[in-house]
Amino acid sequence: MIPVTKPFLPPREEYKNLVDSIWERQWLTNNGPLVNELELKLKEYLNVPHLLYLSNGTIALQIAIKALELRGEIVTTPFSYVATTSSIVWEGCKPVFVDIDPNTLNLDPTKIEEAITPETTGILATHVYGNPCDVDAIQEIADRHNLKVIYDAAHCFGTKYKGKSIFEYGDVSTTSFHATKLFHTIEGGAVFSKCPEVLKKMSFMRNFGHDGPESFAEIGINGKNSEFHAAMGLVNLKYIEEILAKRKELSEYYDSFLKNVKGRSPQLDSQAEYNFAYYPFVFDSPELMQLCYKKLAVSNINCRRYFYPSLASLHYVNETELPVCNSVVERVLCLPLYHTLTYEEIHMIVRIILRVQNN
Rounded Cα distance between 243 and 61, Å, is 26
Amino acid at 351: R
Give whole-number Cα distances, 236 to 38, 155, 208, 242, in Å.
11, 16, 29, 10
Handedness of CA 20, 21, 26, 29 (dihedral sign): negative
Q: What is the pLDDT of residue 321?
A: 87
Q: Please write the tens of the pLDDT for every residue from 321-334.
A: 899 999 999 999 99
Q: How confident is the model at residue 215 (pLDDT cuts 50, 70, 90)?
A: confident
Give the pLDDT confidence of 91-145 residue by residue, as tens digits: 999 999 999 999 999 999 999 999 999 999 999 999 999 999 999 999 999 999 9
Average pLDDT over residues 269-278: 95
Is residue 240 over pLDDT 90?
yes
Could you check whether the bond before residue 309 is cis, i.e. omega within 30 degrees of 0? yes
Q: What is the pLDDT of residues 335-352, one digit of tens each?
A: 999 999 999 999 999 999
CA distance 68 to 122: 9
**Mean pLDDT, range 150-168, rounded to an integer:** 98
Rounded Cα distance, 265 and 129, in Å: 11
pLDDT at residue 289 in the model:
98
End-to-end CA, the chain: 24
Q: What is the pLDDT of residue 359?
A: 84
DSSP secondary structure letter of residue 11: -
Average pLDDT over residues 142-167: 98
Q: What is the DSSP letter of 207?
A: B
In the prediction, which pLDDT does 214 show?
84
Transcribe 37-92 into DSSP letters.
HHHHHHHHHHT-S--EEES-HHHHHHHHHHHTT--SEEEE-SSS-HHHHHHHHHTT
Label residue 338 left, alpha or beta by phi (over 0 means left) and psi (-120 to 50 means alpha). Answer: beta
Mean pLDDT, to the nearest integer, of 253-271?
95
pLDDT of the residue at 123: 98
User: In the predicted model, what is the mean pLDDT of residues 288-310?
Assistant: 97
What is the rounded distance in angstroms from the CA atom of residue 203 to the CA atom of residue 308? 34
For residues 220-237, average pLDDT: 97
Write out the H or E segment, with its range, that includes residue 195.
none
CA dihedral (79, 277, 306, 188) positive or negative: negative
Q: Minimal CA–CA distance to 296: which of 279, 312, 321, 313?
A: 279
Report yes or no: 73 and 120 within 8 Å, Cβ to Cβ.
yes
- CA dist 324 and 110 (Å) reads 13
What proportion of the chain, given as a percentage, has pLDDT over 90? 96
Distance CA 76, CA 96 (A): 6
Domains (range + CATH), the chain:
12-98+105-237 (3.40.640.10), 240-358 (3.90.1150.10)
Q: Tell me the average pLDDT across 267-280.
A: 96
| Residues facing residue 263 across a β-bridge | 283
| Contacts of 327 by beta carbon, 8 Å cutoff, 6+ apart | 102
Angle between the N-to-C axes of helices 12-25 and 33-46, in degrees from 0 to 180, rounded to the nearest 10? 140
Beta partners for residue 174, in sequence order: 152, 191
The pLDDT value recorded for residue 280 is 98
Q: pLDDT band at 278, cuts 50/70/90? A: very high
Mean pLDDT for the stretch of residues 29-58: 97
Q: What are phi and psi of 342, to 5 degrees?
A: -100, 160
Length of the chain as a residue count:
359
**212 pLDDT higher than 90:** no
* 308 pLDDT higher than 90: yes
